[in-house]
Amino acid sequence: MRIFLDANVLFSAAHAPGSPLRGFFRLAEAGACELVASPFVLDEARRNIARKHPARAAELEQLIALIAVCREAGAEQVLQARSTGLPEKDAPVLAAAIQARAVILVTGDRTDFGGFYERELHGVEILPPRTALERILAASDSR
């Protein structure tokens, strides 16, 4: 199961080592899922951690090492993602998740993605972190 992580998930996992968000990385290491992110998302996570919690930058890099980096979506795909009503700043995230053929896009961004939670957009289901973890666990238990 291919899981696309948004920058806020990466930031939070790096910022708080005891965070339940670390579960994504444990599940990936156990083979229950593959974690994916785009360079756009990784750059955002790096910028935010450097600005707010620079002491956690090395932790973020350790987590990033466990993620497959997909290529950025093209302008046409970003425009298609934008047609969903997402703000311009978030369309590249959805577009990259679609292009990466992710099953789930995990984001804690309730402001911009919250209205899409538990909905599928262009083949990618948008989920908050807790629901995504539950889905991955359920899928791995049924194997």
Top CATH class of 2-141 equals alpha beta
Q: Any idea where the domains of the chain sit in the sequence? A: 2-141
CA 74 to chain centre: 18
What would the pLDDT profile of 89-134 be if each residue is shown by its tens digit? Answer: 999 999 999 999 999 999 999 999 999 999 999 999 999 999 999 9
Residue pair 108/129 in contact (Cβ under 8 Å)? The answer is: yes
Instruction: Measure the CA–CA gap between 22 and 45, rounded to whole angstroms.
Output: 15
> What tokens does 100 get?
């990466």
What would the pLDDT profile of 33-75 be if each residue is shown by its tens digit? Answer: 999 999 999 999 999 999 999 999 999 999 999 999 999 999 9
Instruction: Measure the CA–CA gap between 65 and 12, rounded to whole angstroms.
Output: 16
